[in-house]
Structure 1
Amino acid sequence: MEMKLPEEGKIAEVRGGKLEVPDEPIVAVIEGDGIGREVIPVAIRVADRAVELAYGGKRGIIWWELLAGKKALKEKGELLPKETIEGIATVKLALKGPLETPVGSGHRSLNVTLRKVLDLYANVRPVQYYGAPTPFAYADKVDFIIFRENTEDVYAGIEWKAFTEEARKVLEFLEREFGIKVREDSGLSLKPISKFATQRIMRKALQWAVDKGRRVVTIMHKGNIMKFTEGAFREWCYEVAEKEFSEYVSIGEEKPGKILVNDRIADNMFQQIIIKPWAYDVIVTPNLNGDYISDAAAALVGGVGMASGLNLGDYIALAEPVHGTAPDIAGKGIANPSAAILSVALLLEYMGWIEATELIRKALRKTIESGKVTADLAKPGEKALKTEEFAEEVIKAMEGL
């Protein structure tokens, strides 16, 4: 089926190495599975109202639905149609809900597939406190952003199932060629980390730090154990800082007016964000570390229901909440849309629409701090709002700012 763009709106274009966003951009939307069908529509309502309030009708988004997941399978006969991938690549701006991925069997993650085929190599996850209930004493001190490499590591999907002929051949090769003996009942996985992918994620993180006035960039790795993958990740990151950003950074030593670049071992990093969260600003990690640290960091400020994400390539941006499809509550209208709302705000920030972004973030904080929350954030005995009710309260708060 041939891709057909909306008649209204314009496509964001790359000019002079920068993405230029028109006043009425076409933005692709994938609602996703499970609670995605509930949280994405209300996030769009919040975004539209923020844009209207911020720009008085001079700007507006043309939302263009594309299909993936169960809805695509039902209507198109496949989980990820070609026109969906082509559509996102064409308009360059997209918002996506969570897509279901089976555990242990079945098709590979559609989320990972989208990142790979569109070369969305940077998974950007801000972690900030918006007033959600949390037992963490230093929640109000949390304000850092994670840059997770999105294409390599164990997520590259190079695996051999135990007891298969393929696994046997790999085991025999390891023993014959390198003298490495591995138990014959082992499943195997290959972990590639390249200089190319490492340096472009570090470059993206450092440029973000420069543009946003951030003060520290920390490389998170397990290089003490995996010396030629994660250890190399550390060294290649430092190389970018030293060779390409020398006028902006200081390596390992705080200096006035310079961005401090340092590193932490992965297991220590988990401790650090708990005991000294104020010491961290931008965290750069390989894929698997980034997955772990993102969820752990989200727990400090209220859980993944508050966690936004932005998958970036050189120019394409795909925003998505960090949480999954939550099938246990899907269809009940009780899901927390905060992560989806913050994700669309992150997309607006990437577009350069800062005024609308700030309206959403301030209104969300005001709503939560006033005790108007969904069931996951409500205290015992406290009235919980439905998904749409919560979004309406955020809109009212925006209108009152």
Structure 2
Amino acid sequence: MYRVAVIKGDGIGPEVVDSAIRVVNSVTDRIRFYEFEGGFEVFKRIGSPISEDDLKEIRKMDAILFGATTTPFNVPGYRSLIVTLRKELDLYANLRIIPDLSNGKEIVIVRENTEGLYARDGIGFSDRAIDFRIITLEGARRIAKFAINLAKERNSFITFVHKANVLKGDRFFREIVLEIAEREGVEVREAIIDSFMIKLVKNPWDHGVILTENMFGDIISDLATIHAGSIGIVPSGNYGDEIALFEPIHGSAPDIAGKGIANPIGAILSAAMMLDYLGLNGKVVWEATRRYVRYGNLTPDMGGTATTSEVTKGIISEIYSFDPFDIDEIWVEEIRLGRIPLTLWR
């Protein structure tokens, strides 16, 4: 039995995480979920976005499923929960997959997750404010290895996006990436961040595994969502050596919270990534979601009129919609597959 910590957060977080859990439970009974509190409301009570006792328990889990939290501006001492978790759990690799679900394409982005401008809090004076951009040897090496191993698994190449023509930190990062890639026999194509953003808009599908530092990766992945049709369908995984956290990249969207129209697909696909991480097979969830997006009614952010619950039920229905062997249940790698499409066996 796998133990998964759940932090639903606020805004639409609880709604989409509940959808993801329903989908996971429709394909496996090998996961037990444990809910924890975190975010600004917790900070107001204890002065931290998550308690030390909860962090201690979460470290014992096999994975984390995270929703979304609101990060207020200008609150002294407050740091967002997700940034806190990335630092505390050393989740150094952020993998964001921007899918075109209708056409079977995707943009793959590996973002360094714990350094850069997000490495530490800045300082402010009466006449200036200073943020620190930090890139370390250890940080650069391990994110480079993560991206290069992913490229090898996908039989692909690396597009390393940087500003090494201006920034010393990027020159340092670049040398490490090129050295490791050469040793591992993986091709690296370089791109300056400015011109790459134009390429990403015009030709998004031909960049292999995109590797970049923290803030660049944040901006690139948000821009890339235009090719998915909505930021609401984009999943991500935050990986460390001991544990991983999975979350949709959309925010808490308080303007639609409670209305029942939040897009659950980003959370559902994040859960699919979690299944893969746990050694289970998330492919069936991806395939069911692709089929639903092609033919089903979608939430308003994707031009439809469906509710969160309707989309969730539709994806679960797709999971069980095919039965090529005319049997009720098949188990593959500890995943229960009911009425799966024949294409998954090829």
TM range (shorter): 0.7 to 0.9
TM-score, scaled relative to structure 1: 0.76
Give the equivalent residue in structure 2 for 1:389: 310
Alignment partner of 1:389: what SS?
Answer: helix
Give the equivalent residue in structure 1 for 2:84: 113
Q: Is the CA contact (8 Å cut-off) linking 1:142 and 1:277 kept in structure 2? A: no
Deviation at 1:78, TM superposition (A): 5.1
State yes or no: 1:41 paired with 2:18. yes
State yes or no: 1:195 paired with 2:118. no
Deviation at 1:95, TM superposition (A): 0.4
| Unaligned stretches of 5+ residues in structure 2 | 323-346
Number of residue pairs the alignment of both structures matches: 321
Kindly provide the amino acid, as one letter, of the partner of residue 12 in structure 2: I
Give the equivalent residue in structure 1 for 2:155: 214
Deviation at 1:73, TM superposition (A): 5.4
- RMSD over equivalenced CA pairs, Å: 1.8
1:31 to 1, 4, 8: 8
Alignment partner of 1:205: what SS?
Answer: helix
Cα distance, 1:37–1:77 mapped onto 2, change above 3 Å: farther
State yes or no: 1:146 paired with 2:123. no
1:50 to 18, 27, 35: 27
Alignment partner of 2:4: what SS?
Answer: strand
Q: Is the CA contact (8 Å cut-off) linking 2:68 and 2:251 kept in structure 1? A: yes
For residues 271-300 of structure 1, the C-alpha deviation after alignment (integer angstroms, 9 at most, x for no partner) is: 222222232121111000000001011121
Q: Is the CA contact (8 Å cut-off) linking 1:220 and 1:264 kept in structure 2? A: yes
The 1-side partners of 2:192 and 2:40 are apart by 40
Kindly provide the amino acid, as one letter, of the partner of residue 46 in structure 1: V
State yes or no: 1:66 paired with 2:36. yes
Give the equivalent residue in structure 1 for 2:303: 378
The 2-side partners of 1:116 and 1:216 are apart by 28
The 1-side partners of 2:204 and 2:49 are apart by 40
| Unaligned stretches of 5+ residues in structure 1 | 1-23, 52-58, 132-139, 164-184, 250-259
Alignment partner of 2:97: what SS?
Answer: strand
Deviation at 1:194, TM superposition (A): 1.1
Give the equivalent residue in structure 2 for 1:16: none
Alignment partner of 1:90: what SS?
Answer: coil
Deviation at 1:109, TM superposition (A): 1.3
Q: Is the CA contact (8 Å cut-off) linking 1:295 and 1:303 kept in structure 2? A: no
Q: For 1:2-401, what aligned pairs fall within 5 Å after superposition?
A: 24-51=1-28, 59-70=29-40, 72=42, 79-106=49-76, 107-131=78-102, 140=103, 142-163=105-126, 185-210=127-152, 212-226=153-167, 228-243=168-183, 245-246=184-185, 249=186, 260-354=187-281, 357-378=282-303, 384-401=305-322
The 2-side partners of 1:323 and 1:103 are apart by 18
Kindly provide the amino acid, as one letter, of the partner of residue 265 in structure 1: I
Q: Aligned residues: percent identity?
A: 37
The 2-side partners of 1:223 and 1:97 are apart by 35
The 2-side partners of 1:141 and 1:374 are apart by 20
Kindly provide the amino acid, as one letter, of the partner of residue 181 in structure 2: A
The 2-side partners of 1:240 and 1:217 are apart by 12
Deviation at 1:88, TM superposition (A): 2.2
The 1-side partners of 2:123 and 2:53 are apart by 31
Q: Is the CA contact (8 Å cut-off) linking 2:39 and 2:80 kept in structure 1? A: no
For residues 239-290 of structure 1, the C-alpha deviation after alignment (integer angstroms, 9 at most, x for no partner) is: 12123x13xx2xxxxxxxxxx2221111122122222223212111100000
Kindly provide the amino acid, as one letter, of the partner of residue 254 in structure 2: P
Deviation at 1:103, TM superposition (A): 2.5
The 1-side partners of 2:283 and 2:234 are apart by 16
Cα distance, 1:377–1:99 mapped onto 2, change above 3 Å: same
Deviation at 1:141, TM superposition (A): 7.4
Q: Is the CA contact (8 Å cut-off) linking 1:214 and 1:281 kept in structure 2? A: no
Q: Is the CA contact (8 Å cut-off) linking 2:16 and 2:264 kept in structure 1? A: yes
The 1-side partners of 2:180 and 2:242 are apart by 20
Cα distance, 1:376–1:278 mapped onto 2, change above 3 Å: closer
Alignment partner of 1:225: what SS?
Answer: coil
The 2-side partners of 1:390 and 1:358 are apart by 18
The 2-side partners of 1:74 and 1:266 are apart by 38
Q: Is the CA contact (8 Å cut-off) linking 2:16 and 2:308 kept in structure 1? A: yes
